[in-house]
Structure 1
C-alpha cells in the first residue's frame, strides 16, 4: 500500500512568542502524516509575514487569516490546506473559525471556543450546516488514561455516579503577573480579549470537559462564585461552582490561578455507588480505583489487561491506540498529538467524501465548545446573584 498524502495544516495565530502554537506544531508533526505548511501568525500584517519568515522551518506566511483562507481556492488541490489550527486569544477564535468553516476547511480551535455563548451558538450552527470536522483543543482528553477512566465510569464499574470533584488549580496569577510583560497573562485578564471569565473560561472549562467526557453527564444547574483575589484585576482568578448533574448527582467544578505552589494541577474524583475513581493530570500515567474492602487498584498505562477481576472486556479501539510502552512516560505533547491523530481520521474521511463521526468520543467537538460557553454564561449569571441557581442553555 502507498503511504497517504501528508495533510497540509495552517496556523492562525501563534506568533510573537505565544506559547500554544508550538505544542500544536509538535503534535501535528508527531506521526509524519501531517505538517504545518502555512500560517497567519499575527494580527498585524507586517509582523505576521516577518514571524513566518523566521519560523523554525519553511512555511508560507500570510498577512492575515482572510488572505490565507481566500488563497486556497486558487491552489492545486494537493497544496490546499486540509485543516487549520486556531491558536489566537479567545476574542479572535470566532471570525477565523467561521470563515474556514464557510470555506469548507476543517478547524481545530483552542478553547474556550469563542468569546461568549452567542458566538459559540452561531459557530455551532455553521458547523452543523456545513458538515465539516471541528475539534476543540481540550488537550487532556488525549491522555490514554483519561480514556480508560471514561470506559470504567461509563461502563458502570464503579456504580451510579453520586458525586464528582473536578478541579484545575494553578498559582501563576497569584501576583499581578499581567503587569510584568507576560503576554499570556495580559490578554487573559483583559475582558475584551478573554470574555466574561478569566479563570473559569481558561481552565474551569477544562475541568468541566473532563467531568462531561469521563462521566457522560451534563450540568443541569449550578451555583457559582467568580472571585478576584489580586487587587485591581478585572476578571476572576478563582472560580467555584456547585452543580447538579443530569442524573441527579452533585459535583464541584472549580478552578484557581492564585494557589501558590500549584502548577498544572488538574484532577477529577468520581464517587460512585460501588467505588471511587481518581485521575490526576500531573500523574497521567495512572488511574486509581478504590473499592470497598479491597486494596486500591492502580491501572498504569501500558499495563492494563482485560478481565482482571474488576475490568471486563476492554474496547479494541481503546487497547489498540498507539502509545509508548509502559515506563516510557507520555505527557502533554503525546496527549495533544493523540487528538490531532484522531482528528486526522475524520478530516481524511471528509476529504474523501466519506462518513465521519466527530461525535466527541475521541476529541471535543463544536457542541462541547458551545456547552463550555453556556457553562460560563450561567456561572457569571449565578455569581452576579450571590450564588443563586442558574440553568444552562
Structure 2
C-alpha cells in the first residue's frame, strides 16, 4: 500500500517536494503512524504548524463545534468569531490591530503592502518609490514578490521578472542596516531567527539594535515570526527575548493549531490605518472556522506553560545533541524548540542523515543541505526528548565515525 500511495502521488502531483519515503495516516501528540502501523516521533511539527501536537483535543473540539455551526461566509459580513479571536491576538502580542489571512506568505505580502502604503501616505515617500530592507538568507514564502527578494538562486530561477523595491543586507549586522537606510526606506523586514535559512541565530542584542535604528530613522521594524512566534523559541514571541516590540508582526503556522491555515499581520495603529475598504482582502481570511480554531490555539498559550516547556525541553535537546560529540557535527544552535544541527557535508549528508533517522523512528527534514532541523511539538516531555536523542545517537553510529570534543 505504501508504494502504491507514493506512486499515485508522484503520478498526479507536481514535483515541487521531495518527501521522505513514508506514507503517514494518523497523528496523536508528538507521534505519527504510517500505513503499516509503524510509529514515528514528529521532530518537525510541519515547520512549526503543529506546535500543539497532532489531534489536540481542545483544538479538535473547537474545530468540530464551529464547523457544525458556521464555517465560511467571507468578510462581506461580520461574524461572532472574528472579533474575539483578533482581540485575544492583539492583547497577547501587544499590537493595536490585526489583519487576518491564511498562509504565512499571504501575511508577509500584507505586511509589504502596508509598509509601502505607510511609507507613501504617512512618511511622505514619493509614490512607487518606497523601499524595504531585507536580509540575505531570508525566507518569507513562495509568491513572486517574496522570491524576488530571496537570496536563494533556486527560489528565483525562471520565475522573473520580479517586483523590485528591496535592498538586501547581511543578517545579524545592525551596522549594515543603518548604512542601507535612505530617505526612501519604509521598512525593515526581518526574521528573529532564520528558520529555512538553516536555524541561523543573530548576535545577542541584534533585534534591540535594529529597534533603536529603525526608531531613529522613522523606519518600520517588521518581524516575520511565522515560524518563531507563538512559544516556539521559549517565549510567546522571539522578539520577547530582547524585550522589543516591532511596528509590524507576521504570524502564521501555529496560529491554525495544526488544523487550518491561519495567519495574520499585526501592526500599530497608524500603520494599519492605511488600509481602507477595498484595498486588500481574502475570501477565506478571518473566516469563522479559522477564527474559532485560532482563538482556541491562543488560549492554550495564555498561561505560558507551553513556552516554558519549550525553553526547558529545548535546552535538554541542545545539551544532548552537543554531548554526542560526533566529528560531523559542526554546530548545534537555536532557541527553545527551534534547533538546527549543522553537519559537515564532507562527512555526513544531512539528507542521508534524515533518511537514516527515519529508520530509527524519528521524522525530520534537512534544510539548506547541511542542517538537520529539530522542532518537535511544544508538548514534548523529557522522556520523549531522551528517546529522540537515543535515536539520533544510534543514527550517527550507522555512519561509524569516531567521537570528538562536544560541538560549540
Q: Please indicate, yes or no, whether the TM-score normalized by the shorter chain is above 0.5.
A: no
| TM-score for both structures, normalised by structure 1 | 0.30
User: Which structure shows the bigger proportion of residues in strand conformation?
Assistant: 1
| TM-score for both structures, normalised by structure 2 | 0.29
